[in-house]
């Protein structure tokens, strides 16, 4: 059994602080890469971070049979570190491996400047009715959506549209996104809140993860099988960081007001490196980015320097993170996974 093909939701280490890895490298392919390529990437130190192809959130356009879109790749491998030198080393390794393989794939390097938990509290129905009330569709356009849960037309705090990157038409600015946000919620988020957020233009995939228990081994269910949690990283990519930050501010403000989240976080990431390799089609394989956002008048005041109650001045946060990564030690996530597997009584294949 190659345990490297399973991702684990690990517990915080030291001072009860969450693990923050300032650099991420992702290898994203729209089809399964050759086995030899996958093994070479795993041997280099990446790990699988599979999206669940069968998971969907339903209710797009108010239709309970229509899934909200997600743009997750078919195969997704990840490397994380906070050490700048290790990041550069692994970046060159990953790109070289994919380039040799001939697989249509893109590799992205990310610099994470915000990684914060969101406030958790029970769902507040009164707050929801205040922020997304039932409205007359003839008088509320374009700020409305149809709920697939109750069939009502409700007020929408903002209208978000997406577009595909097109460097041939738009030039170098469109070679790749500048950044993205991940609003990661568990699959036990309240469905009414989730539906509202899904109508704000997010890609809505899910990543099944095994869970590290308090004893350092994997948690198990009553039947002896491994417990699994599905994290849903609601994702928005952009070439305009300020506009995306305002959407992040809106989304977290809604969560703080309405509740319904038992566990969640917000990440803001800059794309520092990218390699679009072996004939990747921009129109189908590279996810769309934020095009326009129009805020309902009562949310038009939201700025780009806050994410709900979280201060998020990107310039200051970026300066601080750059200082950290110059001397931060490399914490080997794959080795951590191996230790957990070992405590569980299962040995890795490599």
pLDDT of residue 13: 67
Judge whether 159 lies within some domain: yes
Judge whether 164 lies within some domain: yes
Looking at the structure of the chain, the number of domains it has is 1
Q: What percent of the chain has pLDDT over 70?
A: 95
pLDDT of residue 283: 79
> How many angstroms separate the Cα of 193 from the Cα of each of 13, 77, 140, 145?
31, 30, 20, 13
CA dihedral 309, 8, 230, 308 (to 10 degrees): 10
> How many angstroms separate the Cα of 139 from the Cα of each of 144, 151, 195, 259, 331?
10, 18, 22, 28, 55
Judge whether 46 lies within some domain: yes
Judge whether 321 lies within some domain: yes
Instruction: Tell me how far apart the alpha carbons of residues 2 and 25 are, in angstroms, rounded to a whole number.
Output: 21
Query: Cβ neighbours of residue 260 under 8 Å, at least 6 residues apart?
Result: 122, 123, 124, 189, 190, 192, 193, 194
pLDDT of residue 245: 98
pLDDT of residue 311: 92
H/E/C letters for each residue in 39-82? HHHHHHCCEECCCCCCCCCECHHHCCCCECCCCCCCEEEEEEEC
pLDDT of residue 16: 46
pLDDT in tens, 134-159: 999 999 999 999 999 999 999 999 99
What range defines the domain where residue 142 resides? Answer: 3-344
Question: Which of 23-37, 92-106, 328-342 shows the lowest mean pLDDT across its residues?
Answer: 328-342
pLDDT of residue 338: 87
Question: Which of 11-15, 250-254, 271-275 shows the lowest mean pLDDT across its residues?
Answer: 11-15
> How many angstroms separate the Cα of 69 from the Cα of each of 94, 148, 152, 196?
28, 15, 21, 14
Judge whether 303 lies within some domain: yes
Judge whether 349 lies within some domain: no
Q: Mean per-residue pLDDT for 213-218?
A: 92
Assess whether pLDDT exceeds 90 at residue 78.
yes
Judge whether 214 lies within some domain: yes
Average pLDDT, the chain: 93
Q: Mean per-residue pLDDT for 244-269?
A: 98
Judge whether 26 lies within some domain: yes
Q: Nearest Cα to 113, choosing from 336, 307, 332?
A: 307
Assess whether pLDDT exceeds 90 at residue 334.
no
Higher-confidence residue of 279 and 195: namely 195
């Amino acid at each position: 059994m190659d345990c490297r093909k399973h991702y684990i939701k690990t517990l915080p280490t030291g001072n009860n602080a969450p693990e923050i890895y300032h650099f991420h490298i992702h290898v994203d392919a729209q089809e399964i890469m050759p086995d030899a390529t996958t093994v070479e990437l795993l041997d280099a130190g990446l790990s699988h971070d599979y999206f669940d192809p069968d998971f969907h959130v339903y209710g797009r356009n108010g239709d309970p049979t229509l899934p909200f879109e997600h743009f997750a790749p078919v195969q997704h491998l990840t490397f994380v570190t906070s050490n700048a030198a290790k990041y550069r080393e692994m970046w060159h390794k990953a790109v070289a491996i994919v380039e040799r393989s001939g697989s249509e794939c893109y590799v992205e390097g990310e610099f994470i400047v915000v990684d914060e938990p969101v406030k958790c509290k029970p769902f507040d129905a009164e707050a929801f009715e205040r922020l997304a009330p039932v409205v007359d569709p003839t008088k509320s356009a374009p700020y409305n959506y149809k709920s697939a849960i109750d069939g009502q037309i409700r007020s929408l705090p903002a209208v978000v549209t997406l577009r595909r990157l097109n460097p041939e038409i738009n030039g170098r600015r469109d070679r790749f996104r500048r950044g993205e946000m991940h609003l990661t919620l568990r699959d036990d988020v309240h469905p009414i809140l989730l539906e509202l957020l899904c109508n704000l233009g997010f890609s809505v995939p899910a990543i099944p993860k095994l869970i590290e228990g308090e004893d350092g081994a994997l948690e198990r269910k009553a039947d002896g099988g491994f417990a699994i949690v599905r994290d849903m990283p609601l994702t928005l990519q952009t070439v305009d960081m300020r506009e995306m930050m305002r959407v992040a501010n809106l989304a977290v403000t809604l969560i703080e007001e309405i509740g319904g989240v038992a566990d969640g976080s917000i990440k803001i990431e800059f794309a520092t490196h990218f390699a679009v390799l072996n004939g990747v089609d921009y129109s189908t394989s590279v996810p769309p980015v934020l095009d326009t956002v129009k805020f309902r008048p009562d949310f038009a005041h939201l700025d780009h320097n806050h994410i709900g109650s979280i201060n998020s001045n990107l310039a200051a946060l970026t300066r601080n993170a750059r200082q950290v990564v110059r001397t931060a030690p490399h914490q080997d996530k794959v080795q951590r996974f191996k230790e957990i597997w070992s405590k569980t009584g299962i040995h890795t294949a490599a």
